[in-house]
Each structure stands twice: as C-alpha cells, then as structure tokens.
Amino acid sequence: MVGYLVSLAIFTATYALFSLGLNLQWGYTGLINFGHIAFMTVGAYTTVLLSLNGVPLVLAVLAGAILAGILGLLIGISTLRLREDYLAIVTIGVSEVVRLIALNEEELTQGTRGVYGFPLPLASLNPNLPLRLGMIVILTMICGVGVWQIWRWLGHVPQGADRSVPLRRAALGRQRLALGGYLLCLGGSVTALWWGFAMNTGFLGLAGASAIAALGCVYSRFSHPLKTASHQSWLTHSTIIAVNLVLGLVLMVYWAGVMGLYDYTYKAGLMWLLVVILGFTFWQLQRWVHSPWGRVLKSIREDEEVAKALGKNVFRYKLQSLMLGGAIAGIAGAFYAWQLTFINPDGFIPLITFQAWIIVVLGGAGNNVGTLLGAMIFWVYDAATRFLLPSLVTLDDARLGAFRIMVIGLLLIVLMMWRPQGILGNKDELTLGR
Amino acid sequence: MSNPDSAVSSVDSTLAPALLSAHGLHKAFGGIHAVENVEIQVPQGRIVGLIGPNGAGKTTLFNLLCHFLPADQGRIVFDGQSIESLSAHTIARQGMIRTFQVARVLSKLTVLDNMLLAAPHQTGEKLGNVWLRSRQIRREERQLRDKAQTILECVGLSHMTHTCAGALSGGQRKLLEMARALMADPKLILLDEPAAGVNPTLINQICDHIIQWNRQGITFLIIEHNMDVIMSLCDRVWVLAEGRNLAVGTPTEIQSNPQVLEAYLGH
C-alpha cells in the first residue's frame, strides 16, 4: 500500500510539473502547444544518456532542461510569427518527429529496445536517522504550505456564487465551520477506504466511504449559509467535496511518504526529491506570473495587438514562455525516466500531451494551484477506476481501458457545461465580453 | 521631399517643427490601393485631425504610421528619427502610442492591471530582474499604482480600479484606453475615433481630457467623424479621400472647402 501510494504520488507530481509548463504556455500566454511531450522526450533522453556516459546527474538534468528549452526556441523562431492554429499544428508535428527520431536513431537511443540501467538519483543513499527526519520535516513543510493554499482558496469560494459583500462576509465564517464538518466526513471516508483495502474487502470500504460522503453532502446542504438549493451553491459544494477528497489523498500520500522515508526506499527518496523540485518550481512560477513579466504574458493571451501597441516585444515574451515551459517539461521528463527506470519511445506518445491538457483544463487554465489540483484529480480518477471499475463493471481489460477514457471525456463535457472555467477558474472572467 | 523639415515649412511656416511627418506613403492590398502617396504632418504640441469618408484609408494610414502594417513605400519621421523600418513595439516605446477604433481592453485583467501594463521600461518586465531585483520591482509597482490611480481619478474610473476591464461599458472602455495610452508616457497619441459610439456628455468629457493632456505637452493625431469634436479640438485638419490627400487646413477652411464637401456628400 505504501509503495503504491508513493508511486502514485510520483506520477501525480511528474504530471503536475509537466502540466505547469503547459499552463505557463497556454494558460498564461495563450500559446496552443499540442506537442508538449516533445520537451519531455528531449529532457528524458538527454538526462538518461548523459548520465549513462558518466555526467553527474545534476548536470545531466540541467542539460536536459536546457536542450528542451532550445527546442522551444527552435519551434518558436520558426512558428511564433504565424497565427496560433499553425503553432498547434507545428508543435504536434514536432512532437512526433522527436519521437520518431528517438525510435530510429538506434545508435543513440537503442530504438524500441529502450534505455535502462541508467543512474538514479538518491538511489545509493543510505540516510541515517537525523537525515531521514530532516527529509520528513521538509516534506511536512511543503505539504503544509500546499494544504494552507487550498484552505485559503476555500475561504474565497462564495465569491463566485453571490456578489453582495455583506452576504459574502457572513458566509465566510460558516463556510469555515462547514469545512470542519467536511474534514470530519473526510477522515471517516479515508479510514473506511483504508480499512476496506487492508481487509481486502474493497466493496465494504467503498460502501462505507460513499455512505460517509453522502452524509457529508447532506451536511453541506443544511449548513449552507444562504439555505438556498440553487444550482450555484450545489456546484460550490460539490467543488468543495472534490477538493476535500483531494485533501484526503494528500494526507494519505503524505502519510505514505513519511512511512516510506522512515524505512528509506529509492522510490520514497525520488518522491521526496520530486516534491521539493515541484514545490520550488511552483513557487517560482507563482512569483513570475504575478510579476510585471507575468502581466505582459497575460496581456498577450488577451490581445497581443494591445501588448504590441503598448511597446511590448510580443515575440520575445512568447519565446521566453515557450522555452521556460519546455525546460520545466524537460525536468519532468527526467523524473518520468527515473520513475520508470526504463524508457523507450513508446512512452512518449501524443496522448501524454493531451493528458496534460486535460489536467490544465480541469483545474482551470491560467491558475497554477488549479493545475496541481487537476493533476491530483486526474491520477485519483486513474487509480480509483483501475481498482474499483473491474469489480463494478464486467468488461475485459481492453474494453475497460476504453471505458475509462470515455468516462474522462464525459466528465470533461459535464465540466465544460457546468463549470467552463475549470475547477479553480474564475467564473467572472468567462462571462466577460471581449 | 527628402528633407522633412523643409516639407513642413512648405505647408505652413508658422507651425512648430513636425513631431511626426510622413511622405509618399503607399499601401496596396492586392489590387486595391488603400493608401496612395499620402503625406501627413503633425506639429509638436498640437492637436491634428484626420478626416475623410468611410473607406478613405484613415485607419490604414494609422496602421502604417505605427507599423502595425508595413508600408509598401514612403518615409516616416518621428521625433527626428526615421521609423519606417522599426517594429511596432519599438515605435510605441519611442513615445507614439495608438488606440483602436473599437476600444481594445484586456478584458480578463483588472482596470488597474490594464493601466500598469502600459507603463514603459518596467524593471520587472525582464525575467532575470524578477529573480534579482524584487525589492526594486515592488517599489516601482507602488509608484506605478499611484500614478495609475491619479490618471484613473482624472478620467473618472477610479471606482472601477479592481473590476475586470471586460465589465466596462463601451464609453468606459474608450476612457480606459486613453488613460492607458497616457500611462505609457507618450509624446504623441494617435486616437482612432475617440467619440464613436459614446454619448454626448462623455464626448465632452473626452474632449476636455484631450485638451488638458495637450496642455501638458502631449501631441495628438485624431481620426474622427464627429465634426463638432474636430472643430473644438483641432488646430489643423488633414482630409483623406479614396486613399489620397484631399485637403489640409484649419477646421474652418476645411468646412467650407468645396472638394471636401463633394467627397463627403458625393455631389
């Protein structure tokens, strides 16, 4: 269980990092990049091949990120002067070209046979107790900041539903009260799930969890400050429930991470490293997008003619955004390779680009917290359906796989109809005219 | 025609030296000659009007002047420097800011962000500085915010500072666009139909603002169909028709010019 949760956390964090790059490019700058996987491929292969040839891992990752950035530069120089749709076409083409090069340059990449046996970070580390405790403390701090961010966001939820200030203020206090109730329900459902897994009775756990979740829903209905059963408030509450489920997952994963770090394993070390890198990247990205530099990016997304008329070098900013997003995806690629400990070109298909798009759209474009949340929801969905669906739906594996993807499509359609701005997106922004 | 200063004096020796002057501008879209051999002079510190019937090429001329479209031929001199080969953003940085015929605001950004964006030479616009000079950036942001607030108060938008610009009405968008142009510390503002689709009270306000800012030293070139606006603001009016210069003179001269009347009324 601990091992599985740690793996899940690594996948989630890798995809979160990867999607943060896309969010910078598309969510903030409006560049339609359908070939994001190309950056990951370049990052993964560069890191792995360099480190196989004796280059220190840190330098190898940096080289991977820089090469991915240079790929962004090349794509940018050749296409950014065109309209957005052409950028979309060129990027998806480039991603396939990169993959085909990796497939056919067998002397370099060993083609379909793949690359394996490459050095892994922190693999030979055998930390003593203080070091392990130190790692745990850092992990705790990062998780704490993350949960605090979500908590702070929850305080702002009612703003979308009703705009009158006094009501909102009154709502805020009770919202926190309601949150306490949710967390209680949440603790119950997590315990039930855990118990269900531990006793190998998935159904029982599921039943318990859903019963408690249902209780939570009822509770939310009655604790709603405005006592209205409006569409909006229902949405707000379902969002809060979703967020709470994610919070629960964070707690579970955090616990697994602590256990993993305490009895040190390679995967736990990798997870720790990844969480640190993700936290740092997230923090830097937040700084960038809230700086005047980020303001220029957003203005380009909104209307690049205006940015141009106000003296901003639009082309240069687009290049920077594409390169930075690419470099972040390159780093994500290194972790992707380290997690799998084996890479071949089949792991870098365009599907992964679109999974990143799902994550960004789900969380709300132009919102880094939303992207993190989107990644978590995506992987929770993936994990939940992988284990629960076989016992609920009697289909063979191939059909089940297709079914899961169908449900993702359905969920996205529902989301686009009811909450087109994404989970954390700002509804006000969408209703504005041009 | 090679020396812009002599061209100015040939037009009117009493005016100040030209801040912006263009000669022999050509622009064709396929077989359509939108602008043909057009000349225009904007003297320093004045308000100059540009009028003409629909389709006369006024907006195209604007686009050529600030290089939103490349001119096929012609020379443009701004502030003593030849600018026809410079890119649009460089021209804007040199102090020539344009507005658009249909006001373009960044609708998902707040009014304040719209304003702050326009400020030139911000330290925080360079990515490296975001890393290294965060304190300086914060100080600059504070100063810019004060400046933006002052301008917004002046145009009467200060109560909307934190509203998304997309929530503004058409007239407010026009005001915001002008306020934003002012935020960029321009030498010359090109206004494309500032009074179009705006109610008469607001038109008067806009005119007052333009006159006030002009007194502070900003030169204006204004495209406008509303003759009252042109009459009350402009020192000099250039008339375009079918992509060519038709006439130039004071507003009174232009109003009684038979060629202009013919172009407008089609007799």
Could you tell me which chain B residue has the CA closest to the CA of A430?
Answer: B108
Q: Do B89 and A299 touch (CB under 8 A)?
A: no
Number of domains in chain A: 2
Average pLDDT, chain A: 79
Structure tokens at A100: 């085909």
**CA atoms of B169 and B166, how far apart (whole Å):** 8
Q: Do A432 and B108 touch (CB under 8 A)?
A: yes
Tell me, yes or no, whether A282 and A408 share the same domain: yes
Collect all residues of chain A within an 8 Å Cβ-Cβ radius of residue B127: 288, 293, 320, 324
Q: Do A306 and B98 touch (CB under 8 A)?
A: no
Greatest mean pLDDT among A39-53, B54-68, B241-255 lies in A39-53
Q: How far is CA B259 from CA A51, B48, B228, B253, B266, in A?
A: 79, 20, 19, 11, 10
**CA atoms of A312 and A318, how far apart (whole Å):** 11
Structure tokens at A390: 């076989």
Closest-CA distance, A311 to chain B, in angstroms, reads: 4
Q: Within its chain, how far is the Cα of B228 from the centroid?
A: 19
Q: What is the DSSP string of B178-240?
A: HHHHHHT--SEEEEE-TTTT--HHHHHHHHHHHHHHHHTT-EEEEE-S-HHHHHHH-SEEEEE
Q: Which residue has the tokens 């957003």?
A: A298
Asked if A37 reaches chain B (Cβ–Cβ under 8 Å), the answer is no
Q: Which of A293, A303, A308 sits opposite B88 (nearest CB)?
A: A308
- List, for residues B104-162, the tens digit of each pLDDT value: 888 888 899 999 999 988 888 888 888 888 889 999 999 999 999 999 998 888 888 88
Q: How far is CA B219 from CA A3, A313, B9, B16, B187, in A?
A: 70, 24, 19, 11, 6
Q: Of the residues A257, A282, A301, which one is the last residue of a structural domain? A: A257
Q: Do A292 and B125 touch (CB under 8 A)?
A: yes
Q: Do B104 and A293 touch (CB under 8 A)?
A: no
Predicted confidence at residue A368, as pLDDT, reads 87
Predicted confidence at residue A165, as pLDDT, reads 35
Asked if B28 reaches chain A (Cβ–Cβ under 8 Å), the answer is no
Closest to A94 in 3D by CA, of A372, A298, A405, A329: A329
Predicted confidence at residue A229, as pLDDT, reads 41
Closest-CA distance, A45 to chain B, in angstroms, reads: 28
Q: What is the DSSP string of A138-196?
A: HHHHHHHHHHHHHHHHHTTTHHHH---HHHHHHHHHHHHHHHHHHHHHHHHHHHHHHHH
Q: Do B89 and A308 touch (CB under 8 A)?
A: yes
Closest-CA distance, A430 to chain B, in angstroms, reads: 8
Predicted confidence at residue B267, as pLDDT, reads 54
DSSP 8-state assignment for residue A347: G
Tell me, yes or no, whether A276 and A401 share the same domain: yes
Predicted confidence at residue A192, as pLDDT, reads 63
Tell me, yes or no, whether A298 and A425 share the same domain: yes
Tell me, yes or no, whether A82 and A137 share the same domain: no
Predicted confidence at residue B161, as pLDDT, reads 87
Could you tell me which chain B residue has the CA closest to the CA of A426?
Answer: B108
Q: Which domain holds residue A362?
A: 2-125+264-430
Tell me, yes or no, whether A241 and A269 share the same domain: no
pLDDT band at B57 (very low <50, low <70, confident <90, very high): confident
Q: Which of B89, B113, B134 sits opposite A313 (nearest CB)?
A: B89
Tell me, yes or no, whether A240 and A357 share the same domain: no
Tell me, yes or no, whether A85 and A220 share the same domain: no
Asked if B68 reaches chain A (Cβ–Cβ under 8 Å), the answer is yes
Q: 3-class DSSP state for residue B253?
A: helix
Tell me, yes or no, whether A135 and A99 share the same domain: no
Q: Which residue has the tokens 């799930």?
A: A193
Q: How many beta-carbon pairs under 8 angstroms link A with B? A: 96
Asked if A302 reaches chain B (Cβ–Cβ under 8 Å), the answer is yes
Collect all residues of chain B within an 8 Å Cβ-Cβ radius of residue A308: 68, 88-89, 92
Q: 3-class DSSP state for residue B25?
A: strand
Closest-CA distance, B67 to chain A, in angstroms, reads: 10
- List, for residues B169-183, the tens digit of each pLDDT value: 888 888 999 999 999
Which helix or strand (DSSP H or E) is residue A25 part of? none
Q: Of the residues A257, A276, A306, which one is the last residue of a structural domain? A: A257
Could you tell me which chain A residue has the CA closest to the CA of B138?
Answer: A291
Residues 312 through 331 of chain A touching chain B, CB cutoff 8 Å: 312-314, 320, 324
Q: Do A312 and B130 touch (CB under 8 A)?
A: no
Tell me, yes or no, whether A268 and A408 share the same domain: yes
- List, for residues A126-136, the tens digit of each pLDDT value: 778 888 888 88
Closest to A24 in 3D by CA, of A376, A316, A292, A323: A323
Closest to A355 in 3D by CA, of A331, A332, A323: A332
pLDDT at B164 over 80: yes
Closest to A313 in 3D by CA, of B186, B89, B124, B130: B89
Asked if B167 reaches chain A (Cβ–Cβ under 8 Å), the answer is yes
Q: Do A306 and B184 touch (CB under 8 A)?
A: no
Predicted confidence at residue A379, as pLDDT, reads 85
Q: Burial of A219 by CB count in 10 Å (0-12 exposed, 13-18 middle, 19+ buried)?
A: middle
Written as one letter, the residue type at B88 is A
Low-confidence ranges of chain A (pLDDT < 70): 83-84, 150-248, 423-434
Predicted confidence at residue A433, as pLDDT, reads 44
Tell me, yes or no, whether A283 and A395 share the same domain: yes
Q: Do A432 and B104 touch (CB under 8 A)?
A: no
pTM of the predicted model over 0.95: no
The total of other beta-carbon atoms located within 10 Å of residue B30's CB is 6
Q: Of the residues A257, A282, A305, which one is the last residue of a structural domain? A: A257
Asked if B126 reaches chain A (Cβ–Cβ under 8 Å), the answer is yes
Closest-CA distance, A366 to chain B, in angstroms, reads: 11
Asked if A427 reaches chain B (Cβ–Cβ under 8 Å), the answer is no
* CATH code for position A76: 1.10.3470
Residue of A24, A81, A306 best to disrupt the B interface, most CBs of B under 10 A: A306
Tell me, yes or no, whether A242 and A269 share the same domain: no
Asked if B185 reaches chain A (Cβ–Cβ under 8 Å), the answer is no
Question: ipTM for the complex?
Answer: 0.87
Tell me, yes or no, whether A251 and A273 share the same domain: no
pLDDT at B30 over 90: no
Collect all residues of chain A within an 8 Å Cβ-Cβ radius of residue B116: 292, 295
